[in-house]
Amino acid sequence: MMFTRGEDPKPILIDDHTQQEEPAESCLEDAVSLHRWLVSFASGPGWYPVGEFVALDAQAAIDRAVEVFGTASDFQAEEIPWDAAPLLKPRPASGP
């Protein structure tokens, strides 16, 4: 197709790329695998879960948790299967 830009005599050519020259190939070596991680922070004698994070590896999940919540004395991350239910959220105790 050919179009022009108003008074500019130079044509604008739009190529038709509806057919690819070569079929697309999957690149399994470049595939990225994300995982769910439960990140916990150490405080005093115990460990406290701070949340679930999706990341490439445990260190990336910990780094993101530190960005969100700040530092702690120690950190750990354990992988959670994708088909696991979301973690339960604590509910405030009901009043009298």
Q: Is residue 40 part of a domain?
A: yes
Give the number of C-alpha atoms closer than 13 A to the C-alpha of residue 17, restricted to the C-beta side: 5
What's residue 45's pLDDT? 87
Q: Is residue 15 part of a domain?
A: no
Provide the residue range defining the domain that includes 64: 33-81
* Through-space distance between the first and last CA atoms of the chain, rounded to whole angstroms: 76
Q: Is residue 89 part of a domain?
A: no
What's residue 1's pLDDT? 46
Q: Please give the tally of structural domains in the chain.
A: 1
Q: Is residue 16 part of a domain?
A: no
pLDDT digits (tens, 9 = 90+) for 15-62: 665 555 566 566 566 677 889 999 999 988 899 999 999 999 999 999
The band of 76, judged by pLDDT with boundaries at 50, 70 and 90, is very high
